[in-house]
Amino acid sequence: MQPLPQTPSFRLDGKRALVTGAGRGIGLACAAALAQAGAHVTLAARSLDEIANGAHAICATGGNAEALRLDVNDVVGTACALDGVDPFDILLNNAGTNRPKAFTEVSEEDYDAVLGLNLRAAFFVAQNVARRMIATGRKGSIIHIGSQMGHVGGPRRSLYCASKWGLEGLNKSIALDLAPHGIRSNTIAPTFIETPMTKPFLEDKAFLATVLEKIKLGRLGRVEDLMGAVVFLASDASALMTGTSLIVDGGWTAE
């Protein structure tokens, strides 16, 4: 009898993963998902208390995690901090922010804050991690948390869309540069996910109604909706995927 093909493993045992913006919301959930799949996870953020609590919770449930205080906006400081730890096999570039404003009201400070964290910091974190992967011969996976707003436009979202469209372009280009080294780069592009960052916007009932009208499955996203996606892109199950986007948007961009 002919042997059947075997599903590639979703396990991440023996892998080291770095998650930025890991103190809460999407970052913490994805850190937990990677740990549950067997990875040793380093939770990074500016707030040490949050990531220390997150790492403790992961360890308390049988995972392997540690906290690393990191301000990814500080490119030199971040490079020094990451050079001081063992190299990673997996990066989840998650740190991000948003300042919804009408295009005509956006200030230079708003621009620098959103593009600085969402794109500039993501660029240099990925660069640092990739350099270490190459130097140590690791065939890794770099995953960026993008957005459906990196595929469409939205009112009052000029800054956020610029940063997330930029991230999609960055992702495609670095995928080409890193492919010869066996390093993959992909994005996850979620719809509105219920997190501390989105809560103030979603408390506006009129805004919430417009969001739910666009999400064809009829509900907001939950952090759990992204946990399988990050494990998939980090694992051998997605071994032939690079330079693309996994859109988890409930049908928003299908229309």
For residues 246 and 30, the answer to whether their CB atoms sit within 8 Å is: no
Cα separation, 146 vs 189, in Å, equals: 5
- Residues 46, 70 contacting (CB under 8 angstroms): yes
> Is 160 among the catalytic positions?
yes
pLDDT confidence of residue 92: 98
Catalytic residue among 15, 164, 172, 214: 164
The reply to whether 111 belongs to the active site is no
Catalytic residue (one of 15, 101, 139, 160): 160
Token match 């809460």: residue?
24
pLDDT tens digits for 71-89?
A: 999 999 999 999 999 999 9
**Among residues of the chain, what percentage have pLDDT more than 90?**
95
Task: Give the span between the Cα atoms of 118 and 124, in whole angstroms.
Answer: 11
Number of domain units in the chain: 1
Residue 140 sits in which domain range?
16-195+223-248
At 178, the pLDDT band (50, 70, 90 cuts) reads very high
208 belongs to a structural domain: no
On average, the pLDDT of the chain sits at 97
Q: Is residue 200 part of a domain?
A: no
Model confidence over 110-144: pLDDT tens digits? 999 999 999 999 999 999 999 999 999 999 999 99
For the cut 90, the answer to whether the pLDDT of residue 248 exceeds it is yes
Q: Is residue 210 part of a domain?
A: no
- Where is pLDDT greater, at 54 or 202? 54
In one-letter notation, the amino acid at residue 234 is A
Does the residue 133 lie in any domain? yes
**Model confidence over 18-56: pLDDT tens digits?**
999 999 999 999 999 999 999 999 999 999 999 999 999
Average pLDDT over residues 218-241: 98
Q: What is the pLDDT of residue 200?
A: 87
Q: pLDDT category, 198, cuts 50, 70, 90?
A: confident
- Is there a domain that residue 172 lies in? yes
pLDDT at 185: 98
* 253 occurs within a structural domain: no
Q: What's the per-residue H, E or C state across the chain?
A: CCCCCCCCCCCCCCCEEEEECCCCHHHHHHHHHHHHCCCEEEEEECCHHHHHHHHHHHHHCCCEEEEEECCCCCHHHHHHHHHCCCCCCEEEECCCCCCCECHHHCCHHHHHHHHHHHHHHHHHHHHHHHHHHHHHCCCCEEEEECCHHHCCCCCCEHHHHHHHHHHHHHHHHHHHHHHHHCCEEEEEEECCECCCCCHHHHCCHHHHHHHHHHCCCCCCECCHHHHHHHHHHHCHHHCCCCCCEEEECCCHHHC
Instruction: Examine the pLDDT at 239 and tell me if it is beyond 90.
Output: yes
Residue 199 has pLDDT above 90, yes or no: no
Q: Is pLDDT above 90 for 197?
A: no
Query: C-alpha angle with apex 192: 61 to 107, nearest 5 degrees?
Result: 115
**Model pLDDT for residues 81-115, shown as the tens digit of each residue:** 999 999 999 999 999 999 999 999 999 999 999 99
Is there a domain that residue 62 lies in? Answer: yes
Give me the amino acid identity at 103: F
Predicted structure pTM score: 0.97
* Any domain includes 165: yes
CATH number for the domain spanning 163: value is 3.40.50.720
CA nearest to 252, candidates 202, 195, 190: 190
The whole-angstrom separation of Cα 10 and Cα 234 is: 8
